[in-house]
Amino acid sequence: MMINSKELLQYTKNLTLLFAEDHDELRENTAEILKNFFKKVDSVENGEKALQYYKSELENANAYDIVLTDIRMPKMNGVELTEKIYEIKPNQLLIVISAHDESSYLLPLINLGIEQFLKKPIDYQELLKVLLRVSKKIKQENKLQKSTHIVQLGNDVSFNKESMLLLKDGLSISLTKFEILFLNFLTQNIGKISSNEEIVNYFSQMNENIDSQNIRKLVSKIRKKIPEESLESVYGVGYRIIPLLSKISIF
């Protein structure tokens, strides 16, 4: 079945995509096709550069809607890239392109939760069909997320996970970069106790350095900006966010 370009564009025109592929001609040709449908397409030649682009987008309070990656690439392969991305954003939509002789990679990727596999050589109709399905899924999830991206920390204080803004009575409270990263990490794992090691690793993935002593100082500063009971310290274990009424409020 041929994909209707207008239907695909209806779902993809506001989405962004990161494409990692080491074969120059394939990467360039595929990127040109994708640019007809997506708001933004960044294409890179290896996994290491893909991860740099991915982190850079997040630092600017953005995130790619879809990551499309080859498996076998120099510097960092697609499996390693997938693992790194899922450490940062466990629900990232990832599509993997694999050659017929790369079946040994597939089971680890399936276990990681890959959205879809595509075989080489790329069938562009099949690629567009997969992108249509994934884009529809993103639209459905976005409808749900619009009502669940606000974490209510108190009666008048909330953290917006989408814009990464801390609001009090509707007005933005100034946050440092480290405070934004800390709140963003904890609010992605509501109710879960995050250890110092996990926090240090997350900051490292975002190209920032922090140690246990500085985490304690950071927590002390953040507590002055949010209801103290909404940020719990579990001695010897770590920290967690406890939203108002212990749930993400729905607006």
pLDDT digits (tens, 9 = 90+) for 55-96: 988 877 678 999 999 988 989 988 899 889 888 887 788 998
Give me the pLDDT at residue 12, please.
Answer: 93
* For residues 168-172, average pLDDT: 87
Tokens of 241: 């966010």
End-to-end CA distance of the chain, in Å? 40
CB 232 within 8 A of CB 239: yes
Ordered structural domains, the chain, with CATH? 5-145 (3.40.50.2300), 150-246 (1.10.10.10)
Q: How far, in Å, CA of 169 to CA of 236, rounded?
A: 34
CA distances in angstroms from 203 to 88, 167, 198, listed in the order given = 10, 23, 9
pLDDT(247) > 60: no
Give me the pLDDT at residue 66, please.
Answer: 93
pLDDT(246) > 50: no
pLDDT digits (tens, 9 = 90+) for 19-68: 999 999 999 999 999 999 999 999 999 999 999 999 988 877 678 999 99
CA distances in angstroms from 28 to 24, 32, 52, 177, listed in the order given = 6, 6, 19, 35
Which of 46-60, 80-94, 100-114, 166-180 has the weakest average pLDDT? 100-114
Residue 121 pLDDT level (bands cut at 50, 70, 90): confident
pLDDT(249) > 60: no
pLDDT(148) > 50: yes
Give me the pLDDT at residue 152, please.
Answer: 86
Is-cis flag, bond preceding 121, omega within 30?
Answer: yes
| Rounded-to-10 torsion of CA 99, 102, 107, 110 | -30
CB 41 within 8 A of CB 92: no
Please state the pTM of the whole predicted model: 0.59
pLDDT digits (tens, 9 = 90+) for 193-245: 889 999 999 999 899 999 989 999 999 999 999 988 899 888 888 999 888 75
